[in-house]
Every structure is written in structure tokens, then in C-alpha cells.
Amino acid sequence: MTNLEETIQKCASGDRKAQTALYNEFSSKMYGVCLRYSKDATEAEDNLQEGFIRVFTKIEQFGFKGSFEGWMRRIMVNTSLEKFRKNNHLYPVEDMMIYESVQFTEETLSIISADDLMKIIQELPPRYRMVFNLYAIEGYSHQEIAKMMKITEGTSKSNLSRARVILQKKVINDFGLEKNTVTTTLC
Amino acid sequence: MLAEKRNIDQVFREKLAEYEKTPPAFVWTNIQGKLNTRKRERRIGMLKAVGIAAAIFVAFLAGWLTTNPTDKIAVRQNSVAEKAIVNPGTEPSAEKRADPAVQEDNTTIVANTSTPESSQKANNKKTLQFSSLASFAANTSFVDNANLLKSQKSSELVLFKSEKELLEHLQKNFKMVKKLTDWIASVRKDSVPVNNPKTFTIGAFKQTSDNTSMASAVNVTSRNKDRWSLKAEFSPAFNSQAPNSGQHGELAYAGTGSSKPQETSTENTVYGGMIAGYKVGKRLIIKSGIVYNNIRQTTRNVNFMSMNPQYNVPVGTALASTPVGKVSLNNTGSSRTAAALNSDNTLSNSAQYYSAASELKQNIEFIEIPFLATYKLVDKKVVIGLTGGVSTNILIGNNATLSENGGKISGGETTNMRNVVYSGAVGLEMGYAINNRITLTVEPRVKRFINSLSSSKSINYKPYQVGIVTGVTYSFN
């Protein structure tokens, strides 16, 4: 039995030391996930707190059939989505925005920090932020996103397209990138 | 160089997919706090479930009793007895059944069942006799199930004409008689002195038709055999505050500023409920059930403290403090008087005042789930037993009322009351069996709360209760 498995089993029996150890090991990563889905740090902290309480109260349901980190990550994502669903009404928007894909070079990327990108993603309208995170970072399909967010696939695609346009524009504007430093392609 | 270029999705994925940041320390503090609260709530939920289960159990027992009157049981026993009075050996063949001589050789046990001239009283006694014989048959390997079934099919009962004839047959098989006498002696040894089991057995059979003392003895035996009991109990509770109970520390301000000290007394109340018992030994009974209990305190010449950050008293409210705890009130009445300052000025506050006309009642209600054990010192017509045990008390009510000259002027609740507290109790149960099922009892009982009713560290309130518990117990098997 690995240390992690032992810690998980102890957590399932309510061992506070094991819970502390588990929190210390994963809290930074999970906070990162929550920050991506939130508009600011306060919302992320709330989601992280709620997510970890769920982790500890449902940890006996983890069947050791896959990555524990992945399981925790899904809980954090679901917690964030639930909070979003509770606070936002979704209006079906299916008009597709034509988005001009920009290709960024390695050199361009080196001047942009993760914290900068986090700030940009947090500034997205909530529904765009959710869809972009789920599609571009977590790797869910539009069909899955539609199911998770209780929207249509068309709405999911539309939201993603709009999110991309906003993000791209912000990255170019905020970092003073000239058009010639990027390659544009129409898609 | 295309591989080095990234679209917007890739840019964010690469930079943010594994993004890490240490969350603020208070997040973990909050998580721990919530986990503790959930743990506490789950514990309370479990205790409530136990309480509900106990209530359902008691209700089930009550229902069972009302739908299974004893005459049905007697009929069933009678039926079993009839089944038992059969050919003890292998099933007799058709030829053997036809031949009385063969029947006699097979040592058929026969009972003198109802006779036309028997009275109802005699029938009742015979029911008991049947029951005894049936139990005897079950206790010995004399009659097996296969034979019972076959005999039932044949519906063939052979009756002896006299008890003497029965005894003659019993004596044919010494082992069987020995088992019978041993069994009867074991059943009756608490109530009837037995010197010679064999003689006793014969005597017992002789007595059944005409000796009422035998019926009485059998009644006591029947009660002794009953393993289950259900008791409805009720008691006045003389409550008192334990010497080491009361306010300390931060609550010491109460009474310090007034010319007349605040007085708190614990009122007498009542409690009662249903208790189910199970006999685990000849004299030992374990009991559990559900009981309503309450404790009420009255405080006179109430001292109040208005807005004071030191005691977390917000603007627009006043705080009353008693040995049970603090009560936040939004109205303190018109007869209040500003309190005099203390000589040392340490705890005095210009905003402190008292009201001689006011009365603060704090009522705390519990559902109690007791786990008691009673050891019967005497278990005859008169029953004496020592009872002791612990109880889980679940808070179901917490209210405080401030009245002035008899009229209610404000309400609230006592702060920091524990949802679950434990108590211990000892008592001396004295009872009188009015028949083989029902016993009336009276029991002086002392009960003391083991932990403080308040979760505040500065309050140690563990009242005790003295009750005279009167009850009716119904025993059954």
C-alpha cells in the first residue's frame, strides 16, 4: 500500500492528521483549479473550502480505480460549476462568432506569466470562463460540457468561440503584441 | 517552426493546467471547523435515530401487545400441547394404531384434556398444564418434529381416564419421568419449595384440579418466565443545582452592580415516558426507552447588561446572565433601575441595571434515552429491585421568557446549550404484582447530569433531579 492510499484510508476513518497531510499535498493544485473557474480569489477560496469538505466526506467512495488527484480535480470542477449554476442563469446563445485564430510563438509566450493569464481568464464572463476551462484545459467535449452545464452543444460551442475571441484580444492588447509577431489564420 | 506556435487554447492549457498557488491559511481552519460541525451533527443525527428507533420499538411492542391477547397465546399453546401428546416413538403403523395393546407398549403420553364436567377455572389450569407438557416435550428429545407432523395428520389423541393411569405410564419410563420432574422443578424452584422432584411432580398433577394455591404458584412462575416488559412511568422531578454548578469568570458581573442580588432557583418539573425491559438473567433486566424531561430555572431581580463589547452585547439588546447561561433580550421592561457602581469600579458599567419586578424563566427540554439495568432483590408478589444506568439527553427545547409583574415582555433562548448531554441515575424500585402480567411500581430515583448543560467554558451547570417514579409494568413473553 502506498503512502497516499494509507493516507486516504485514514482520512476515510476521520483521522485529522491524515486530512491535514492530504490537504497540504493537494491544496495548492486544487486552489489553482478553483482560481481558473472563479472570478476572484475570494470565490476560489469558497469553492476550495467546499470542495475539500466534499472530498473528506466522500473519500470512502473513492475506489482506487484511477488517479486520486483527477478525482479531487473533478470534485473541485463540479463544486465550481454548481456554484456557477446557482448564481447564474444560462441564456442559450448559439450565434457563432467568427474567430480569427492567432498563433503565438514560443518567444511571445515567454513574456506572459501564468498569473497574468489567470487574471485574464478570471475577467471572462462566467459562462465563457466555464466553457473555455472545460473544453480547452480539462479536455471535455462539447457534448459532455452541454450535459454538465445543462446547455445545448450549440451554446457550448458559441460560448467557447466568444471566450477565445475575448482572450486572444486581451492577450494581444495587454502584452502589447504587434500583429506581426503572431500568425493569424481564419477558422 | 509550426510546432513552436500555439493557438490561444494551447497557450492557456500549457500555462494554467498545472497552475499551483498556496491558499490562505484560514481556508484550512474553516474546513476543520466545518468538518467538526458535520461530525457533531452526524453524532446528533445518530442519537436522534436511536431515539426514533426506540420510539418505534416501543410503539411496535405496544401494537404487538394489543393485537396478541393472552387467550390467543393460550390457544396456541394448547394446540402445541395437543401436538405434543402423541406417540413418542416412530409413527405407529396402521395395524399398531388399531391395536390398543401395541399403543400401550409404545408409551404414549396422554393428558387429561377438557372433560365435559370441568369448569372454566379448571380449563384455565389445564391450559397451563398443557403448556407445561408442551414445553416439556420441546425440552426433551422425546418427540421429534417428524412425529409431530405425522401425528397431527393422524389427529389421533388417546386420553387417559385418570391421573393415576397417567402416572403409571410415566413411571414405565424412568428417564422420561426424571426429565419431567427435573424440568418442573427448574421452572418452579423460585416459587415452590421442592424437596423430592418425583414426589413434587406427582403432587403437582394431583393439585391441578382443586388447589388454588397451585394456580397462584403457576401465575408467579409465568411472570418469572416473561422475558419482556413494557413500563409507562411518570414522576415529579425535584430539581436542584449541584454545589459546584453555576457561573464563573465572565458571568461574574451578574449581581455585582445591583443593590439587591440576583436570585436563581431551579423549579420542580415532571418527566415521564415508556421503558421497555428485557430479562437477561433470573434477576437482571436491561431497560431502554424514551422519556420526556425538562429543567426550568427562574431568576428574580434580574440583572441586565446593555451594550458592552467586553461581553459581546450588541446595541439594542441587553444581556441577562444566570447559572445556566446568558440570555439575549431586546426588552428589559419599564421598571428597571440603574445599578450602583461597585466600590472597586472593576466590573461596574454605567449601562448596567436591574429590575426587581422582573422574572426570567429558562426552560430546557430533553428527550432522554436511558440505558438502565435493574437487579431484582425480591421477585415475588412484592418486587424490589436496584436500578442504575446512564442516559443520553437530546435537547429538543430551549426558550427563555422575561416577564414583568406577571406579563411577558421579552423572549429569547439560553446561549451555548449543548445538543446532547449525558446523565446517570440510581433508584430503588418497589413493586406489587397485581396479577401475573401487571406490576405497579414506585421508585425513588436520583439523577445527575454528568456533563455541563452549557458548552461555555465558564459555566459548569450540572443539575440533579430527585424523582418519585410511579409506573405500571406489563410483562410478557
Per-residue model confidence (pLDDT) at position B130: 43
Q: What are phi and psi of B62, to 5 degrees?
A: -60, -45
Phi, psi at residue B463, to the nearest 5°? -70, 160
Q: How many CB atoms lie within 10 A of CB B298?
A: 16
Task: Answer whether 0.80 is exceeded by the pTM.
Answer: no
Q: Is residue B10 packed enough to be buried (19+ CB in 10 Å), middle (13-18) or exposed (0-12)?
A: middle
CB contacts of A20 in chain B (<8 Å) are 28
The answer to whether the Cβ–Cβ distance between A117 and B34 falls below 8 Å is no
Other residues' Cβ atoms within 10 Å of the Cβ of residue A180:
6
DSSP state letters, B234-293:
EEEEEEE--TT-EE-GGGGGTTTSSSS--EEEEEPEEEEEEEEEEE-SSSEEEEEEEEEE
For residue A45, give the nearest of B9, B12, B23 by CB distance: B23
Judge: B19–A183 Cβ closer than 8 Å, yes or no. Answer: no
With bands split at pLDDT 50, 70 and 90, how would you rate the model's confidence at B118? very low
Least-confidence region, from A112-126, A141-155, B98-112, B116-130: B98-112
User: Measured between CB atoms, which of B5, B13, B35 is closest to A136?
Assistant: B13
CB B184 within 8 A of CB B200: yes
A22 touches chain B (CB under 8 A): no
Q: How long, in residues, is chain A?
A: 187
* Interchain contact, B6 vs A109, CB within 8 Å: yes
Please, how many CA atoms are within 13 Å of residue A13, restricted to the half-sphere of its CB? 8
- Of A52, A28, A75, A38, residue with least CA distance to B24: A28
pLDDT tens digits along B231-272:
999 999 888 875 555 444 334 444 444 445 677 888 888 899
B179-193 pLDDT, tens digit each: 655 665 665 554 444
List residues bridging with B290 in a β-sheet.
Answer: B274
Check CB contact under 8 Å for A56 and B8: no
Confidence of residue B222 (pLDDT cuts 50, 70, 90): low
Helix (H) or strand (E) holding B179: helix B174-188
Residue B233's contacts (CB-CB under 8 Å, 6 or more residues apart) are B272, B273, B274, B275, B291, B441, B443, B469, B470, B471
Contact residues for B196 (Cβ-Cβ < 8 A; gap 6+)? none
Q: Does the pLDDT value for residue A132 go beyond 90?
A: yes
Query: Smallest CA–CA separation between A81 and chain B, in Å?
Result: 17
What is the Cα–Cα distance from A133 to B303, expressed in whole angstroms?
60
Residue in this structure with the C-alpha cell 486520486, named with its chain if needed = A68
Q: Which residue of A has its CA nearest to B15?
A: A114
Q: Is a pLDDT exceeding 50 seen at residue B421? A: yes
Interface test with A, best of B4, B19, B36 (most A CBs within 10 A): B19
Residues 262-301 of B with CB under 8 A from A: none
Give the Cα separation of B382 and B442 in Å (integer). Answer: 12
What ipTM goes with this model? 0.86
CB B213 within 8 Å of CB B249: no
Report CA Rg, chain A: 19
Average pLDDT of the residues in B345-367: 68
Query: CA of B10, closest CA in chain A: separation in Å?
Result: 7
- Cβ–Cβ gap A114/B22 under 8 Å: no
Q: Which of B6, B12, B27 sits opposite A167 (nearest CB)?
A: B12
